Amino acid sequence: MLFTLEALQANDGDCLILHYQKTAKAKPVRILIDGGSAGVYSTVLKPRLDELRAKKPLDLRMVMTSHIDADHITGILDLFKALAQLREDGKDEFCRIETLWHNSFEKLHGGKPAAVQSATVAASLDGGVPPRGLNAFTSAVVASVPQGNQLRKAAVQLAVPINQGAGGDPVEAPARGLKVVPIADGLTFTILAPNAVQLKRLVEAFQAAKAEHGANDAAVGADYLNNTVPNMSSIVVIAEVTAARGKKLRMLLSGDARGDVLLESLELAGLMKDGKCHFDLMKVQHHGSSHSTTQDFFERVTADRYVISGNGKHEIPHEQALGWLSAARHGQPYECYLTNRIGILKNRQVLDKFLASEKKNEKKHVYYFRDEKALSISVPLA
């Protein structure tokens, strides 16, 4: 069996390929999750897809955008645009995509009061100028809304079904319990987020912002989007297979979801046991940003292997977040895989200091970095 997560060099973003093959004779199953920021498609993703296809069209079981932030969706949009151009030119396409999992902002907000009652929010959803007062993360997501719209149009042009098999559009989890989706023979995705409880908060968040700011539509829009976007953006799934002797192997693919959202989602899904949940692999949310996690999160959601994608932009992974992970797993073994060792200078110096401390004080913590000449780093579970 093959069950591997490959993290491509995606600069400050995420670009992951999930590889699964039940037996040596079975057809490989490949799932592309996010595509990184501007430039990643042409320099990293396309060359890697070319390697995998070996002069034959590459079958992708799924392409998934965790959310519409530019450092996740841009490479996926570039891929779809390239395929659409080849089709328009009458040329053979280098890959075939079975389905696109993608929650556009319209789908997440469809029919909700904010989309119809607030001109500011509606303009943002339509790709207009984001309102003033948004924090940097929220503003970046809102500015990416047009990319999400373009991606849906490209998928329609290519006749790629959107959210096929997810049980609805948008992709979402139930208010309680599990939604387990068969992906291939022996491989399932459990959809964790966004869930119905969190989406219901869209209405409540808008009403709260409106109650506070009254007729000041710009203030309503800014307050609503600041509180809503970070919570509602990311599709979060658990990829699971059954390995030798019936052993279950699980990957938590977290996108940029905040730690509190992940904890709530795991609780509502009934996956927390005595307040904790363990995985064989966890893709650390939001590139190891201290704004999206806490030491308590790392104490409650643990893994044998952690994957962090980032090149030091915005000083991510943050030294504080790395410290929280280390402290939460004090004396316990784990492996951590990072896409960039030589990144932005300040971050490189932070890593040097952190790794020296780990080598001295936490000998069971092992860190691996992508070879600077390689397109990616792979983390095999089976």
156 or 225, which is more confident?
156
Whether residue 73 contacts residue 149, with contact meaning beta carbons closer than 8 Å, is answered with no
| Per-residue model confidence (pLDDT) at position 120 | 67
Q: What are phi and psi of 95, to 5 degrees?
A: -150, 155
The CA angle 280-234-51, to the nearest 5 degrees, is 65
Whether residue 185 contacts residue 92, with contact meaning beta carbons closer than 8 Å, is answered with no
Packing angle, helices 145-157 and 136-143, rounded to 10? 30
Report which DSSP code applies to 269: T
Q: Which residues fall within 8 angstroms of residue 14, CB to CB, at 6 or more apart?
A: 7, 33, 34, 36, 66, 71, 72, 255, 283, 287, 309
- Give the Cα separation of 326 and 349 in Å (integer): 18
| Per-residue model confidence (pLDDT) at position 272 | 97
Pick the range with the lowest mean pLDDT from 61-65, 79-83, 192-196, 332-336: 192-196
**Res 113 pLDDT > 60:** no
**What integer is the mean pLDDT of 275-290?**
96
| Cα dihedral sign, 311-315-317-323 | positive
Q: What are phi and psi of 311, to 5 degrees?
A: -120, 15
- With residue 379 as reference, give the H or E element that holds it: strand 376-380
**Res 327 pLDDT > 90:** yes
Packing angle, helices 145-157 and 70-88, rounded to 10? 30
| Per-residue model confidence (pLDDT) at position 279 | 98
177 or 115, which is more confident?
177
At residue 20, what is the residue type?
A: Y
Among candidates 99, 107, 255, which has minimal Cα distance to 163? 99
**Tens digit of pLDDT for each residue in 53-100?**
988 999 999 999 998 888 999 999 999 999 999 999 999 999 999 999
| Per-residue model confidence (pLDDT) at position 223 | 75
- Give the Cα separation of 92 and 277 in Å (integer): 45
| Per-residue model confidence (pLDDT) at position 193 | 92
**Res 143 pLDDT > 80:** no
- Categorize the per-residue pLDDT at 278 as very low, low, confident or very high, splitting at 50, 70 and 90: very high
CA R_g for the chain: 20
Q: Where are the alpha helices (DSSP H) in the chain?
A: 40, 46-53, 70-88, 105-109, 113-117, 119-125, 136-143, 145-157, 196-213, 217-232, 259-268, 295-300, 319-328, 345-361
Pick the range with the lowest mean pLDDT from 233-247, 321-335, 356-370: 233-247
Q: What is the CATH T-level fold of the domain 2-380, as seen in this structure?
A: Metallo-beta-lactamase; Chain A (3.60.15)
At residue 184, what is the residue type?
A: A
- Give the Cα separation of 233 and 105 in Å (integer): 8
Percent of the chain with pLDDT over 70: 86
| Per-residue model confidence (pLDDT) at position 313 | 87
Residue 372, CA distances (Å) to 8, 159, 220 in order: 11, 37, 46
Whether residue 173 contacts residue 265, with contact meaning beta carbons closer than 8 Å, is answered with yes
What dihedral do alpha carbons 202, 203, 208, 210 form, nearest 10°?
Answer: 110
pTM metric for this prediction: 0.91
- Give the Cα separation of 231 and 52 in Å (integer): 35
**What integer is the mean pLDDT of 188-214?**
83
| Per-residue model confidence (pLDDT) at position 103 | 86
**Res 205 pLDDT > 60:** yes
Cβ-based neighbour number of residue 150 at 10 Å:
15
CA 178 from chain center: how many Å?
19
What is the greatest pairwise CA distance in the chain? 64
Q: How high does pLDDT run on average in the chain?
A: 89
Report which DSSP code applies to 128: -
| Per-residue model confidence (pLDDT) at position 141 | 65
At residue 362, what is the residue type?
A: E
50 or 227, which is more confident?
50
Side-chain half-sphere exposure of 223, counting CA atoms within 13 A: 17
Packing angle, helices 345-361 and 319-328, rounded to 10? 20
- Give the Cα separation of 284 and 174 in Å (integer): 23
Q: What is the 3-state secondary structure (H, E, C) of 155-187?
A: HHHCCCCECCCCCCCCCCECCCCCCEEEEECCE
**Res 209 pLDDT > 90:** no
**Res 231 pLDDT > 60:** no
